[in-house]
Amino acid sequence: MYQDKTLVCRDCGKEFVFTAGEQEFYAEKGFQNEPTRCRECRMAHKAARNSGAPRVMYDAVCADCGQPTKVPFQPREDRPVYCSECYAARQRG
């Protein structure tokens, strides 16, 4: 049912194979997105996250209340960003 796919790593730009077995595993776990990093970059990214170094935070303006906030990702112009309170309110429904 699944076939190997060649993907391109978003960090190093090298091609890597997303095997049929990996695709089946992703489907079983309910993952909806394909991997965006090769194994080496994925491991390096995970190590950097777990190193205890402080997270890089970015300035943004909440799309709901207009207050300045900080987020752990670089905001993009085409996606709204919410402060913690507005994000929590949206999650509650």
Q: Are residues 41 and 63 in the same domain?
A: no
pLDDT at 91 over 80: yes
Q: Are residues 10 and 33 in the same domain?
A: yes
Q: Are residues 10 and 27 in the same domain?
A: yes
Q: Are residues 12 and 31 in the same domain?
A: yes
Q: Are residues 39 and 63 in the same domain?
A: no
What's the domain range around 66?
Answer: 58-92
Q: How many CA atoms lie within 13 A of 15 on its CB side?
A: 5
pLDDT digits (tens, 9 = 90+) for 24-66: 999 999 999 999 999 999 999 998 888 777 878 999 999 999 9
Identify the pLDDT of residue 60: 96
Q: Are residues 70 and 34 in the same domain?
A: no
Tell me how many domains the chain contains: 2
Tokens encoding 84 = 């913690």
- Own/partner pairs, 52-56, CB within 8 angstroms, 24+ separation: none
